[in-house]
């Protein structure tokens, strides 16, 4: 077997609308809604689906927990510009090693923004 790509990741969140607001305002992701009313965020070729704590349905992780994810996104923008943009949006930036910047979403998930040379 050879896996081609990751289609989506699912985050369990306390407040779906607050999460949509953060990811769209801070990271420029596009809010999406599926036919069955599930909410998510689209970016590039990927997607993040959102499940509200206590309202998880269908197949899911054994212990869906908010704030337990570490996500890394590759950005094409120079790192100094990424940092300036995050600061202008009042986002607390945790500068990482090398070509990465770290921040946290409203649920405490760790988000890494990385520039590959």
Q: What is the pLDDT along the chain (117 residues), one digit of tens a residue?
A: 998 888 899 999 999 999 999 999 999 999 999 877 889 999 999 999 999 988 777 777 778 899 999 999 999 999 999 999 999 999 999 887 788 999 999 999 999 999 987
DSSP string, 77-95: S-HHHHHHHHHHTTPPPEE
Name the residue among 57, 10, 8, 48 with its Cα closest to residue 27: 48
Please, what are the domains in the chain? Answer: 8-57+65-114 (3.10.180.10)
Q: What pLDDT was estimated at residue 34?
A: 82
31: CB partners within 8 A, 6+ apart: 20, 24, 39, 40, 41, 42
pTM of the predicted structure, to 2 decimals: 0.90
| Catalytic (active-site) positions | 112
d(CA 117, CA 114): 10
């Amino acid at each position: 077997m050879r896996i081609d790509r990751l289609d989506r990741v699912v985050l369990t969140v306390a407040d779906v609308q607050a999460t949509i607001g953060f990811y769209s305002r801070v990271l420029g992701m596009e809010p999406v809604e599926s036919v069955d009313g599930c909410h998510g965020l689209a970016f590039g070729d990927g997607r993040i689906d959102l499940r509200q704590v206590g309202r998880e349905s269908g197949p899911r992780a054994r212990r869906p927990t908010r704030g337990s994810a570490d996500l890394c996104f590759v950005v094409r923008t120079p790192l100094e510009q990424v940092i300036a943009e995050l600061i202008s949006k009042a986002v607390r930036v945790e500068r990482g090693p090398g070509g990465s910047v770290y921040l946290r979403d409203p649920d405490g998930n760790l988000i890494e923004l990385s520039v590959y040379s």
